[in-house]
Amino acid sequence: QVQLVESGGGLVSPGESLRLSCRDTGATSRLRATAWFRQAPGQKREALSCINSNDDGTFTAESVRGRFTISRDSVKNTVDLQITNLKPEDTATYYCAVEDRPVVYSCSMRDGLYDYWGQGTQVTVSS
């Protein structure tokens, strides 16, 4: 069973970087399409970036492109989100999610397609 746990969040100053990790603690070996989302208080959930199940295709939202990079670490069994040049508007709870379909060639930014979600990790950017 898929059980996702996010980590790496925290309180940082503007301009700093963070690396968020999403780990499937259910120890499933199959690669799945995975996406990162975030949600700030009072705001809609925002799709950030996704990676396909073949691990050879990614997509990142234009609003964060250039600062957010998604990658998969097959050794650690994590999907990571590297965030650079953090801004106060990046403050939110960050969630990872995976699709249960066995093969996903083009990952999606539609949250309704994702079957499993983590509990989130808080990122706060403040001086």
Q: Determine the average pLDDT of the residues in 103-126.
A: 94
Residue 74 makes CB contacts below 8 A (sequence gap 6+) with 31, 55
Q: Please give the distance of CA 69 from its chain centroid, rounded to a whole number.
A: 9
Q: Determine the average pLDDT of the residues in 77-104.
A: 94
CA distance 102 to 81: 22
What's the confidence (pLDDT) of residue 28?
Answer: 66
Whose CA is closest to 70, among 49, 87, 97, 96?
Answer: 49
Report the percent of the chain where pLDDT is more than 90.
Answer: 80
Q: How do residues 6-64 score in pLDDT, each as one tens digit? A: 999 999 999 999 999 999 888 666 788 999 999 999 999 999 999 999 888 999 999 99
What's the confidence (pLDDT) of residue 26?
Answer: 80
